[in-house]
């Protein structure tokens, strides 16, 4: 197992000290990262003690420490999952050959692009969430927000390490640029659409961590299969941390629904939950529609020669390529999918390699549905007949086959005018946003207390009670 060095400027298990040049370069990047964090990280809490988990190794038991830390002092480190001995490329044209420890020249640009695109999402989400602490529904949730934020910061470190260690000067320039783009900025936006969308309230935050972090999971699973071994090892460890982010989303939305169900019963089912200070189910459905569709776009076009190339050359596999698929070349096979042909919806057989984005999206959709089922069980248990659903994957898309056309949430083709006229029924409108804002004007900083629109969690973090002082908030 790799040994961990925790007492240097940059905690790591990659023996950074043995490569002085790399160490110096990363130590030079570090102050820029901290500047970025102070500027774009959680607003208003940089001086407070937050009870956080910090990765200190990659051992499946005990890979993290928990304790109070001021966020700017967080020990962002570089951790790669342990090397798999004699690991072979598991798919594509190079299948069976030894994995690459260095970047092959012919794949250099493509790999750099993949790493930069993944890396860019990490600081982007911190930027999107930077004001949420000011309206937190509880100290428990505040802590979870910050946990997600610092770990996205660490994921940025993970990608920057690869850029610095394997891509020379270009890599260093890309690492700088990762700190210069800004979510939602019109001049220098983040690379991917969903990461430029505003995340202005806690319902969006829970939806984001459920749907958008889950896209992250699938991208990381696909990269974990990569023939470029350092990328595979980095992403495998990132997945360990990512699980908590999706937990925050799944339980967060679940608690909103639980509280809504209680209020619906109080209101007498036909009553107006909003009047009781809860979030009504139609509003919840609209936010599901929004963040699910934005996240579906992140998988890219349904038919993609890039995706075919990534698979052929071993750069990016399918999720759980080894475990879940019997055949790994994906040659001489087709995949049946919906496409647009002459303005109409049609079914087409596409060469499997060209359908790899869609195959990954399929796994994602199944995984998303699991949470929906769970949330619906909460409604069922409360005796409420309404159900929440995932909209059709054609609804509200900006990429690929359905990017230029409009569909209803149940997948029927409609005109752009019809869509525009009904948009506010399906996606959050201004009134919905204002309503959520009105619910979330004041933060709840008293340990154990919850905002009215949210049920308490089932338990606290790491055996601490729910009313633990997860953030020692300095009111001064």
Q: What residues line the site for Fe ion (CB under 5 A)?
A: 122, 152, 155, 213, 242, 245
Tokens of 367: 């995984």
In whole angstroms, how close is the CB of 463 to Fe ion at the nearest point? 23
Stretch (H or E) spanning 436: helix 430-439
Nearer to Fe ion, 204 or 285 (CB): 204
In whole angstroms, how close is the CB of 55 to Fe ion at the nearest point? 12
Stretch (H or E) spanning 49: strand 49-55
CA distance 265 to 384: 8
In whole angstroms, how close is the CB of 74 to Fe ion at the nearest point? 15
In whole angstroms, how close is the CB of 211 to Fe ion at the nearest point? 11
Nearer to Fe ion, 123 or 400 (CB): 123
Q: Dihedrals φ, ψ of 41, to 5°?
A: -80, -175
In whole angstroms, how close is the CB of 84 to Fe ion at the nearest point? 22
C-alpha dihedral, 158 to 163 to 164 to 166, nearest 10°:
110
Residue 137 Cα distances to 143, 412, 428, 451, angstroms: 11, 38, 20, 5
Burial of 189 (0-12, 13-18, 19+ CB in 10 A): middle
CA 164 and chain centroid, separation: 23
Residue 73, Ramachandran bin (φ over 0: left; ψ between -120 and 50: alpha; else beta): alpha
Collapsing DSSP to helix, strand or coil, 228 comes out as strand
Please give the radius of gyration of the chain, using alpha carbons only, rounded to the nearest integer: 23
Q: Are 390 and 365 in contact (CB under 8 A)?
A: yes
In whole angstroms, how close is the CB of 220 to Fe ion at the nearest point? 8
In whole angstroms, how close is the CB of 325 to Fe ion at the nearest point? 25
């Amino acid at each position: 197992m790799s040994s961990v060095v925790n007492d240097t400027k940059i905690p790591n298990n990659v023996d950074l000290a043995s490569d002085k040049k790399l160490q110096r370069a990363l130590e030079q990047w570090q102050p820029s990262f901290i500047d970025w964090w102070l500027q774009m990280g959680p607003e208003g809490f940089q001086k407070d003690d937050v009870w956080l988990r910090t990765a200190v190794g990659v051992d499946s038991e005990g890979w993290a420490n928990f304790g109070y830390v001021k966020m700017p002092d967080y020990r962002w480190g570089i951790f790669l999952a342990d090397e798999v001995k004699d690991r072979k490329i598991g798919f594509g044209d190079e299948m069976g050959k030894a994995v690459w420890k260095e970047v092959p020249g012919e794949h250099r640009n493509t790999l750099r692009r993949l790493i930069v695109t993944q890396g860019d999402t990490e600081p982007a989400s911190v930027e999107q969430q930077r004001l949420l602490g000011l309206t937190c529904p509880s100290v428990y949730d505040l802590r979870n927000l910050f946990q997600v934020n610092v770990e996205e910061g660490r994921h940025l470190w993970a990608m920057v390490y690869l850029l610095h260690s394997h891509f020379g000067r270009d890599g260093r320039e890309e690492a700088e640029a990762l700190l210069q783009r800004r979510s939602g900025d019109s001049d220098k936006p983040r690379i991917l659409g969903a990461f430029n969308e505003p995340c202005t309230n806690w319902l969006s935050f829970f939806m984001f961590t459920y749907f958008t972090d889950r896209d992250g999971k699938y991208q990381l699973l696909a990269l974990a299969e990569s023939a470029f071994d350092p990328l595979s090892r980095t992403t495998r460890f990132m997945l360990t941390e990512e699980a908590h982010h999706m937990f925050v989303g799944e339980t967060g939305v679940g608690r909103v629904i639980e509280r809504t169900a209680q209020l619906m019963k109080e209101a007498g089912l036909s009553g107006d939950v909003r009047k009781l200070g809860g979030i009504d189910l139609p509003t919840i459905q609209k936010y599901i529609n929004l963040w699910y569709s934005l996240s579906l776009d992140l998988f890219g076009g349904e038919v993609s020669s890039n995706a075919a190339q990534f698979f052929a050359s071993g750069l990016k596999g399918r999720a759980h390529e080894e475990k879940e698929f019997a055949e790994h070349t994906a040659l001489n096979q087709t995949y049946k999918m919906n496409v647009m042909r002459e303005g109409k919806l049609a079914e087409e057989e596409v060469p499997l390699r060209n359908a790899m984005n869609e195959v990954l999206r399929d796994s994602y959709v199944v995984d998303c549905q699991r949470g929906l089922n769970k949330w619906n069980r909460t409604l069922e248990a409360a005796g409420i007949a309404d159900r929440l659903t995932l909209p059709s994957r054609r609804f509200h898309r900006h990429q690929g086959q359905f990017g230029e056309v409009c569909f209803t949430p149940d997948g029927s083709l409609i005109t752009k005018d019809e869509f525009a006229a009904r948009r506010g029924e399906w996606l959050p409108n201004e009134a919905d946003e204002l309503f959520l804002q009105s619910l979330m004007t004041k933060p709840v900083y008293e340990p154990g207390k919850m905002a009215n629109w949210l049920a308490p969690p089932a338990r606290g973090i790491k055996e601490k009670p729910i009313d633990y002082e997860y953030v020692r908030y300095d009111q001064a």
